[in-house]
Amino acid sequence: MHEYPPNSQLLKDRVILVTGAGSGIGQAVSLACAAHGATVILLGPVQRELEEVYDQIEEAGGPTPAVFVMNLETAEEIEFEGLAATLGQEFQRLDGLLHNAAILPFLSRFDDFELQAWEQIMRVNLTAPYLLTRACLPLLRESQDASVVFTSDAVGRHGQAYWNAYGVSKFGLEGMMQILADELEGSKIRVNSLDPGAVRTNMRARVYPGTDPRDWPEPAAVTGTYLYLLGPDSQGVTGQALNAQEDG
């Protein structure tokens, strides 16, 4: 799967929502999905970034994407429901949902971590994926082959010092994935998590300031596994915690 060769029309006619689509892995996966035939719904907090990804998809000749500006830290339940309602009117269904948005402001000792930072991280990394998934389930059920993918992290599968709220939020995502996959067993919706491993993103550079970013692969290097999970070749694969890199 690490060397997965996707067919050029793998995602033809599919509608896929990607959070955190304005940069990093979210941007790379959005471009890859569009290049393989999907209509991509780009969601993120910065309109300029989303519009740049939109333009890249248009210039490459991909299906016309959609842009939804949403701040997952401040969005209320009614906003997620409104988003789902709009998607229902525009697309009638959702074939893929990639939860990729996350924040990690800093690493800290447990003693020093402040409640405000804890709640901010939990809101973006865990509560927002719950609210968005719940709101979009009716649309996913309208698909003949739907996939929900949570971007995870090694620190959400084996606890490590100083990762604090971020690590706990990723443990929560893994639990959410397992519970949802079990509830939807036997349906047309599969649910999995994916640890992309060390990738050259702004978030990773902030956490590892003493490391040369050139030592990490570009986000595009891990898009193959995302395409596999979002496409029809992963039918029957559900409830799995997967890695995009061999050492992930």
Q: Tell me which H or E stretch contains 39.
A: strand 39-44
Assess whether 166 carries a catalytic annotation.
Answer: yes
Q: Which of 166, 208, 226, 228 is catalytic?
A: 166
- Whether residue 34 contacts residue 66, with contact meaning beta carbons closer than 8 Å, is answered with no
Beta-strand pair 39-44/146-151: unpaired
Residue 66 is encoded by which pair of tokens? 């959609």
Residue 156 is encoded by which pair of tokens? 């959400």
Alpha-carbon gap, residue 173 to 190, rounded angstroms: 15
Separation of first and last alpha carbons in the chain? 13
Q: What is the CA radius of gyration of the chain?
A: 17
Alpha-carbon gap, residue 159 to 101, rounded angstroms: 21
The region, left, alpha or beta by phi > 0 then psi within -120 to 50, assigned to residue 117 is alpha
Residues with a catalytic annotation lie at 166
